[in-house]
Amino acid sequence: MTVGAYIFGCIGSKLSKKEFDFFKESQPWGFILFSRNIESKAQVKLLTTELRESVGRNAPILIDQEGGRVQRMRSPEWMEYLPALTQVKKSGSHAGRVMYLRSRLIALELNEIGIDVNCAPVADLLKPNTHTILADRCYGETVEDVVKISRAVATGLLDGGVLPVVKHIPGYGRAVVDGHEQLPIVREPLEVLTRTDFLPFKLLADLPISMTAHITYTSIDDTPATISKKMLSLIRNDLGYKNLIITDDISMSALEGSIFERSKSSIDAGCDIVLHCNGDLKEMIDVANASGQLTSQGEERSQFALEQKRPPKEESIDELQYELSKLMPGEN
């Protein structure tokens, strides 16, 4: 079956006939859910089933369930967590195990409702002036800490039967503006970036899926990373990331041009899949027309990524919660 090189969202808590028919025709690689799509466990389970029925296959369904501020599923139906940076600092020497456990618990919750890809870990290196949109989602200020925690998060998700998406490649920690509203521009020399911001992604290059950063590094290219052939070449060759690359949300204001132009430029630059999140049907049509089908390389990378998903380890939620509570008494 031919599959589109794009991931789509939907508007509400259930599919309209127009959405169902469009997804059936356009065959997106996968789907992504947001808070607007989520009401209850039973409702989300029905929605994920309906999304897969629309394309006639077990399409990947993504979510941003990092824990903390970026957490689409909220209490009382789902567990709440501290922001990642707070959790790591409070956990001290147990940080790796704590972040593993919370990722395992998140994966269990996702599996229960038919979500099998989580957009985490966040491998961006925290800086003193990292924008607040990102800062408390980071894991630390050193490459060693960020890689250690990112690995723990990714392993927790994989052990729970959920694929991780490492983000935001090649690094977003130097962004001092919100990429949802404007383009971050970084002027550090390449030799500095290579041993700092870029390095965690090089050390995590085995992870199956990565998400790009809408950010410009002027020492490499004046074009934003997502649509930069030079940057995608650096990611593939210098950082050694050979697996599936999806864009960050293509509708973010960091990028200029029409949705069609942004999507086409992303694919032309070397991204495998365009992510479109807001559920606007007209925009999704433009994304589909611009992005086309997965390339042969994209199909190979997709197959490899999906093959990394494994059945969840047989551990009960009670056992995992108990261990977490012993390491973090009074906290999640």
Catalogue the E-assigned strands of the chain: 4-8, 28-33, 61-63, 65-67, 70-71, 117-118, 163-169, 185-186, 209-212, 216-217, 244-246, 274-275
At 76-91, the pLDDT tens digits run 999 999 999 999 999 9
Phi, psi of 205 (to 5 degrees): -70, -10
d(C-alpha 155, C-alpha 153), whole Å: 5
d(C-alpha 301, C-alpha 63), whole Å: 20
Residue 151 placed within a domain: yes
Residue 177 placed within a domain: yes
Q: Are 218 and 185 in contact (CB under 8 A)?
A: yes
- Beta bridge partners of residue 217, listed in sequence order: 186
Q: What is the model's pLDDT at position 325? A: 92
d(C-alpha 287, C-alpha 255), whole Å: 14
**DSSP 8-state assignment for residue 138:** -
d(C-alpha 330, C-alpha 332), whole Å: 7
Q: Which domain holds residue 158?
A: 64-274+304-310
d(C-alpha 184, C-alpha 88), whole Å: 26
Q: What is the model's pLDDT at position 330? A: 64
Phi, psi of 76 (to 5 degrees): -85, -5
pTM: 0.97
Residue 27 placed within a domain: no
- Please enumerate in sequence order all residues whose Cβ is within 8 A of that of 134, keeping only pairs 6 or more positions apart, or say none: 122, 124, 172, 173, 175
Q: Count structural domains, the chain.
A: 1
At 180-216, the pLDDT tens digits run 889 999 999 999 999 999 999 999 999 999 999 999 9
d(C-alpha 61, C-alpha 51), whole Å: 9
Name which of 5, 7, 4, 3 is nearest 278 in CA terms.
Answer: 7
- Which residues are designated catalytic? 180, 248
How many other β-carbons are positioned within 10 Å of the β-carbon of residue 39? 14
d(C-alpha 256, C-alpha 261), whole Å: 9
Residue 86 placed within a domain: yes
Query: Each residue's pLDDT tens digit in the chain (332 positions)?
Result: 789 999 999 999 999 999 999 999 999 999 999 999 999 999 999 999 999 999 999 999 999 999 999 999 999 999 999 999 999 999 999 999 999 999 999 999 999 999 999 999 999 999 999 999 999 999 999 999 999 999 999 999 999 999 999 999 999 999 988 888 899 999 999 999 999 999 999 999 999 999 999 999 999 999 999 999 999 999 999 999 999 999 999 999 999 999 999 999 999 999 999 999 999 999 999 999 999 999 999 999 999 999 999 999 988 889 999 999 999 876 65
CATH number at residue 170: 3.20.20.300
Residue 170 placed within a domain: yes
- Beta bridge partners of residue 244, listed in sequence order: 209
d(C-alpha 265, C-alpha 291), whole Å: 9
Kind of pairing, strands 65-67 and 70-71?
antiparallel
Residue 44 placed within a domain: no
Residue 95 placed within a domain: yes
